Each structure stands twice: as structure tokens, then as C-alpha cells.
Amino acid sequence: MDAAAEFQEDTWPKGADAALEAPPPLPDEPTMPLDRLDEGGDDNVRSSASKVEIEALMLSIMHTGKRPLQPLVVARIGDRARVGAGNRRLRALKLAQKRGLIPKDHPVPVRFAAEDELYEISLTENVMRVQLHPVDEFEAFSHLRDEGLTIPQIADRFGLKELAVRQRLALGNLAPEVRKAWRDGKIGQEQAQAFTICDDADVQRQALKAGLASKGHYNHYEVNRILRADRDMISSGRFAFVGRDAYLAAGGALREDLFGDVVLVEDPDILSRLYVDKIAAVKRDLVTVEGWAFAEHRDHVERSFLWNTLPLDQWMTPEERAILSKGSPHAPAAWNTRRELMARVAKLPEARAASGVIFSVNHKGEIEIDPLRLRPVDEGLPDEAEDAEDEGDETDEAIDAALDEPALPEPADEDAGEALVQSKPLLEDLSEQLGDAIGECLVAEPELALLAVTAALNSSKWGSPVRLHRDGSPARRSHSDAAFAAELARLGALPYDAVLGELARAVAGALETRSSVVEIDPKLQGGISALVGRIAREDFRAALSRSFQVRAFFDRAPGAVARAAAEEAGAGAIKGKKAELAERATEIAQKTGWLPPSLRTVHYQAPAASGGAA
């Protein structure tokens, strides 16, 4: 029966009482016919009881000999009696009579008292009642299961849904240490519920120890991380890509969170195998069926924006050439023309044979393709030369020293406003992702790279986001052991557009955007802002959406950051455990364009202000 459903007010058929046999009273036990008992009214201090509670109590009484476990305390008033203690039991019995389970004159055990004592008896019974601790209740349910009762039988006996029984059984079977911590008040019911996602008592003990180890707050994130053991949720892109049917057909199992809407993958090895196999099949089909020269998964490609795009000149129409040669390549007309040109060329067999694709799986499990790519030339420098170049790099040493500082403890959720600025490694990663987005835009717009490198040559190193001599972040820094004269000759043989492309990639490799360097060089933030301001808004937003690792960010940030992000994005309050918050916040951020403060540039527009477009 649904918790919100109304009781059935069935009428009892006339003459049907005789068909029911009431159980005989116990020896010397006084009873009163049910139809002569009246509720206590003003004599009863407990005036509220939900219909669901009465329904459950009725079913319990029916399973225990159709008698309440305790007699009702009543006072005689003529040939009737008024109840002082036991009004809930009386209502449950009357409900059973309306359902046809007992006759109208069903004998009810009673204990008689004086009428003027009823109120005091009712007050004493309710004040002195000791509330059963939830752990005791749930352990009792587990005991019933151990005695051989099935979940449907327990549900029927206590008037509960089967899900409610499964929840109680799971809580009653928690590791003894977890139940003791609950009894002792070290964790609450919500925290205890999180442990039911894992049946291994040893893992539960490990998670409990981690949760209680943090001073000042309970570490929800670490507890969930240990209990879930990095298992995918079925809402993940990997699972959607593989497909539920394929996963189950391969013998994979799913684990439902009894207290939330999360479903976990129980066999990550099966999911990983199926994912790898399907990725290999996509890669094979792109080459053998679609006709591309190669196909690479984006996870296996370092900074794909540094890979060249196949030159499109030979396929341009005079009209397209005229549009693309005028003004900025990022003007709407030029942008649309180039996009249509690439879409057309990507269908040509000769273009596919001369280039490849970089593909990825998005959060919906769909394949996204970046076509017409050319493999980069290996520019690796011998280890000795690289070591010599890095020797004496004072800036990198200062950065390393800053990042080697002891990590600050993760703040409690209440301190979400300061959570991000306290995590130096997280800020460093975000600033690198910002640099990746700027670099991608510079490669796409060589004219801006030319301006940037010229400005860098004519200005102080301090405050410049372009560090010449490839002195930028090591993550984007590339090297060549070619002699200057040979490199000059090579570039001299290239057309102007190709030289601009080489320059743009070199400038991208010289970018410096790390937050740790901004601490050393405060003027650098202004230089970064000025450079980003020269990039077309839509281009930069698209590049940043590719470089910002949304899910990884929310996985590392405290749960309160996810809640704050949802509020800022106009999605309202979100609730759940850490992984659920990260999953929901990731969906919201990807849909609305929400960004953490350190990635908000002049091009950022708050989702709430733009109706969901950032």
C-alpha cells in the first residue's frame, strides 16, 4: 500500500460475523467486545497517529494472534468502556474489523481502571516509553530473516513495502563497528545508510575509520570513495557507450543504492573490457569502413590542439576563398564558411585517405569526431639535452617548491566559498586547462600568435603570458634539436600560411598560465586577461569546454562546491552523496557552461544571467 494512499472503508457484510471464529480468551484475562470500546478523547495525551502507522500496527496485531501484545487500559461507563491507554491499538483493531479480518464483537484484552485515573495512566505510559534505537530495530529485522522469513513475509507482517524491508535488513547487517558508531552517536542515520552500498565488512570498517579520521568533520567524500571503489555509475559516459544490455549479457551485475537513485557497476573489469573492445571496434571501423588514414582516441593523444589540420585550399571554391581571405577568420561569415568547407571535405575519400580523426566518448556515451587531423612530427629531445635545458630553471624550481607544500585539509562543506582557493594542486590543474584553451585558439588564429610573440619580444618577461625560448609550462613545452640554420632553411621553404602555423604552435608551447607562477608574478594575470580578450568569444568558450575536465574537477572538489555550482547555474539546490553531487553538477555545468572562478575570463557569462548559456 502506498504511504500516501487512503484506507479502504469497506463495509462489513451483514450476517458475516458468524463465519469468523474469534480466538478464545486467555485464562482469567478480562476482555471487552470491540464494538463496546470507545476512544479516550480528552483522556488520551497521544492524539496523533498517521494512517500508515495504524495500517502497520493492524497487520502486526493480525500476525500475533489477533490480540494486542498489551491489554488496553479502560474505564467502565455503563455497558461500554472508554480507553485511556491503547487508543492506537483500538483504531488498528477497528480497521481490521472494517477489512473483515475480525468480527464486530471481537474480544479485546483490557485492564480496568477508575475513570478519573485514565489521563494520568495515558500520560505515564507515553512519557515513560523508551524509544527503540534504529539499530535495535534493524537488527531485529535481520533476526527475522535469519529465522527463515522472506522479504515479502516480513513486509506483509509489518505493513511495509519490500524496499523498506530491504533497507532495514541492509542496515541491520552492517559491520558491528559501524552499528556501534551509530549507537554511540559518532555517525547518524544518513551516514550509516551510505555503508549499505558495499557488503564487505572489512571495507566498511576501512571506510568508517577514514570517515572518523578527519578532525572537525565527517569525511563523506573519502567514505564514499572507499565504499564505491571507483565503480562507474550507470549514468556515466562509459556505461552508456557500452550499453546496459551488453554489460548484463556479458555477466555484469548492477548494485542499487537502497537510499538514493544511484546504481553502480558491480563488475568494473567487465565494463572496462567491453569499453576497450568497443573503442577498438570504433577505431577499426573509422579506418577500414570510413576510409580515414588513422583514428586515435582522445585519451591517448597529448594536447590534440597541437595536431595540424589538413590544408583545405585545393577544395575551396572561389567564393569560399574570397570570404576566408577577408577580415578575421573568426567573423561569423568566415566561421560558417570554414565549418561548411570542413564538413564537405571530410566526406571526400581522398581527404580521408590523407588525414585522420581524433574521437572521444562524451558524457552521454556518444562518439564525437574531430576530423581532418595530421599526425605531428616527433620533436622529442634527447634526455641529456632536455636535462641540460631544464638545469638552473629558477622559475620551475620555485613552482615545484610551492606545490611541494603540505596540502591543506579539505574544508567542511560549510566553507564552500573558500574551498577552491585552498587547494593548490586543483588550482594548478585549472590554470593549465586555461592555458590549453588559449593555446588551441592561438593555433587556430596565427595572426594573433604573431601579435603575441611580437608583444612578448618588445616587453618585459614579467607579466607576459608568452615566455620565449619555450620557457612556458612544461606541460605544453616541446623541443627540437634542430640547429638554428637548418630550422631557418626549413621555414624559408614553406609558404607564408604554413610559417604562421608553425609560429602559432610555437607560441602555444611558450604559454605560461600556471597559478603558481601567477603567485610569483602577480602581473601575469593581467597579461593572460589581455591575451584572452583578443580571442573571439565563441572560439575561446568552445576551446575551454574541451580543455576543462568537468567531472574530474567535481570529483576532487568538496561536495559543497557542486551544490554552489548548481545554485549559481540556476538549477536550484541539489542533494545526495559526494559522487551523486559530482555527477549532477557535471551535467549542470556541461549544460549551462558554468565554470569555477579561476576559469572565468572576460568571455564568461554567468548562466543565471544568460538563461543557461555561458
Q: Give the DSSP per-residue string, 500-549.
A: HHHHHHHHHHTB---HHHHHH-TTHHHHHHHHHHTS-HHHHHHHHHHH--
Only one residue has cell 579539505, namely 410
Place of cell 597541437: 306
Residue 181, pLDDT above cutoff 70 = yes
Strand order in the sheet with 72-77: 31-33, 107-112, 72-77, 80-85, 37-38
E-only strand ranges, 347-431: 356-361, 367-373
Q: How confident is the model at residue 148 (pLDDT cuts 50, 70, 90)?
A: confident
What the block records as the C-alpha cell of 108 is 479485546
pLDDT score of 99 more than 60? yes
CA distance 198 to 227: 6
Whether the full predicted model's pTM is greater than 0.85, yes or no, is: no
- Angstrom distance (rounded) from CA 349 to CA 436: 32
Mean pLDDT of 293-299: 91
Average pLDDT over residues 272-301: 93
Cell 551488453 belongs to residue: 246
Q: What's the average model confidence in pLDDT over 241-259?
A: 90
The reported pLDDT for the residue numbered 400 is 47
Domain ranges of the chain: 17-127, 276-373, 387-610
Supply the CATH classification number for the domain 17-127: 3.90.1530.10
> Among candidates 111, 118, 123, 120, which has minimal Cα distance to 72?
111
Burial class, 457, CB count within 10 angstroms (exposed 0-12 / middle 13-18 / buried 19+)? exposed
> In the structure, what pLDDT confidence band is assigned to residue 1 with cuts at 50, 70 and 90?
very low
Give pLDDT, residue 288: 94
* pLDDT of the residue at 468: 67
Which H or E run contains 436?
helix 424-444
- Residue-level pLDDT at 612: 38
Q: What is the grid cell recorded at 288?
A: 577500414
Angle between helix 176-183 and 134-146 (nearest 10): 150
Torsion angles phi and psi, residue 569, rounded to 5: -80, 0
Single-letter code of the amino acid located at 151: I
DSSP class of 132: P
- List, for residues 310-367, the tens digit of each pLDDT value: 999 899 999 988 888 876 666 778 888 888 999 999 999 999 999 999 999 988 899 9
* Contact of 88 with 57, CB cutoff 8 Å: yes
Inform me whether the pLDDT recorded for 158 exceeds 90: no
pLDDT score, position 356 = 95
